[in-house]
Chains A and B, each alone.
Chain A
Amino acid sequence: SAVISQKPSRDICQRGTSLTIQCQVDSQVTMMFWYRQQPGQSLTLIATANQGSEATYESGFVIDKFPISRPNLTFSTLTVSNMSPEDSSIYLCSAKGGTGDTEAFFGQGTRLTVV
């Protein structure tokens, strides 16, 4: 299984600012994902982070609001741009290992509060 580290673990941000969350995996993985978990809710997939190309966004999420980078097979970032209180959530990085792997592994998450 892959070990996934996210930074920061939590942050409190002013509305209108941006925050970049980093996700580091301890081994090369084929796929990386970003999820949002709003208070008391389940996980919603934001996008699939593609290595060397633009991320694939799910319905309701756009690149201008959630730009994603994935420069290599072990690292990705998610930026939450122009934040509002509605963006207060836990943001989780996830990775799937080899081509034959089916389960996703998760980081501890980043708890974001926008004030």
Chain B
Amino acid sequence: AQSVTQPDIHITVSEGASLELRCNYSYGATPYLFWYVQSPGQGLQLLLKYFSGDTLVQGIKGFEAEFKRSQSSFNLRKPSVHWSDAAEYFCAVGARNTGGFKTIFGAGTRLFVKA
């Protein structure tokens, strides 16, 4: 069965510093991979997605993620964090099965940004 692991419950970085959020997945075939962001009191916004092609994916708000099949990872990165990036980040895997297409979410990583 497909699953997603985000090892870090929360991370604190200084404004202007670089960021990397970790994500590992388990899936038998080539997965659809996503990163979503959830600001307090808001729904989820898609940052970026990967299915095939270039393993380095560019997203919105200056985020990027790299798919590494050998490590079953899809880590999210940003070179310089802004205070407005403080939010909850969810990695997700999409999979097709007999029930249709489902999106399975990791536990999330809460990002704190300090001045």
Q: How far is the CB of B60 from chain A (nearest CB, A)?
A: 11
- A86 partner residues in chain B, CB cutoff 8 A: none
Q: Is B44 an interface residue (CB 8 A)?
A: yes
Of chain A, the residue at the smallest CB distance from B44 is A106
> Roughly how many angstroms separate A9 CA and B99 CA in the complex, as a whole number?
29
Q: Is B87 an interface residue (CB 8 A)?
A: no
Name the residue among B44, B94, B104, B108 with the largest chain A CB count within 10 angstroms: B44
Which of B41, B43, B102, B106 is the one whose CB lies under 8 Å from A45?
A: B102
From DSSP, what is the main secondary structure of chain B's interface residues? strand
Q: How far is the CB of B62 from chain A (nearest CB, A)?
A: 19
Q: Mark A100-115, 1 if CB is under 8 A from B, else 0.
A: 0011111111010000
Beyond A41-B107, A103-B49, A108-B43, whether A48 also contacts B34 by CB under 8 A is no
- A42 partner residues in chain B, CB cutoff 8 A: 90, 105-108
Once the chains bind, are A96 and B101 in contact (CB under 8 Å)?
yes
Q: How far is the CB of A104 from chain B (nearest CB, A)?
A: 5
Q: Is A92 an interface residue (CB 8 A)?
A: yes
Q: Is A18 an interface residue (CB 8 A)?
A: no
Q: Is A62 an interface residue (CB 8 A)?
A: no
Q: Is A88 an interface residue (CB 8 A)?
A: no
Q: Is A12 an interface residue (CB 8 A)?
A: no
Question: Contact residues of A with B, CB < 8 Å?
Answer: 1, 4, 31, 33, 41-43, 45, 48, 56, 92, 94, 96, 102-109, 111
A-B pairs with beta carbons under 8 Å apart, 28 shown: A4-B43, A31-B100, A33-B102, A33-B103, A41-B107, A42-B90, A42-B105, A42-B107, A42-B108, A43-B44, A45-B102, A45-B104, A48-B100, A56-B99, A96-B101, A102-B49, A102-B51, A102-B101, A103-B32, A103-B34, A103-B46, A103-B49, A104-B46, A104-B94, A105-B46, A106-B44, A108-B43, A111-B41
Closest 4 CB pairs of A and B: A106-B43, A106-B44, A108-B43, A43-B105
